[in-house]
Structure 1
Amino acid sequence: MKKFLFPVLGLFLLGAAPQQADANAKVRQIQAKRLKQSKAKSTLVRKQSLAKRQANAKMRAKAKQSAQLRVKARKDKRKALLQKKTKSDLKKMIQRNRKSVIASRRQRAAKTRRRAQLTKKLALARRNANGQKLAKQRKVKLQRNKKKQGQFKAKQRKIKQR
């Protein structure tokens, strides 16, 4: 039996080996293909993100330049106006500026006050809610204790009756 089994087994193994090699080669081929695709995709994504960054940088630079130009134009305009104005006009302008500064300060103070009041109210509400919660917990605990006490007394009565 042994004499017959080993050669057959050897032949079977020899026949199986090339098939296994083919399968392995196929798997490697598929893996290589996938790797190539993923690399291509990552390079594409990298190129796209680089292009996006460059476009954003260009836009930012343009925006900055236009903002600088606007500021310069405003300054030039102001300078021209100041050169035209008389001393009394300048005094009026200063007063107006001072008034607006005072008004803005007042507004800011009012805003801060309102915010502080709101914070206070919120804190109070939170404390109240917490207090109510604690009170409820205490009430539940007391009820539970009462119930247990009643059960205990009933038990004691039963024991006495025996």
Structure 2
Amino acid sequence: VGGLQAQSFALQNISGNIANSSTTGYKGIGTSFVDLIPDSSVPSKQVAGGVTANAKATITTQGTISGSTVATNMAITGDGFFSIQKATGIVDNVPVFSGVTYYTRRGDFQLNANGNLVNGAGYYLMGVTVDPKTGNPTGNVANVLKFQNNFIPAQATTSIQYA
């Protein structure tokens, strides 16, 4: 019976993987089987061993990356995570943070009114400041990023002059 239940659990994971195979950002769930060993501390009781199944998250695997029309959407190829923080409140229209850093691969960032990049779950993107002249990082401690809201909108080139 234990073996049938473990196999049923594995089939549920396979079914979920198939159903979500085209879901953006979905990473499949694996199944690991574990042998159950009888309790040897009670010698008068003889219990047969069995098997159980556990879900094995695959959050560190690379998902499919596809193009987006949103300029602030980002993806990471290979190892790594975005450093993010959740705002604990807002004081004078400025978010306040607890200082707890989280890590994610969710890169659906949008620029908010305060100039922060915020993903769909409401977490703020962190990073280190960059020297505008050299392009090199000026520190090694990540802080919540804030951009000036004075971006010049892109314009398509209509003509060029060259000599």
Q: Please, what TM-score do these two structures have when normalized by structure 1?
A: 0.19
The higher radius of gyration belongs to: 1
Instruction: Identify the structure with the greater helix proportion.
Output: 1
Q: Please, what TM-score do these two structures have when normalized by structure 2?
A: 0.19
Which structure is higher in RCO with an 8 Å CA cutoff and minimum separation 6? 2
Instruction: Identify the structure with the greater strand proportion.
Output: 2
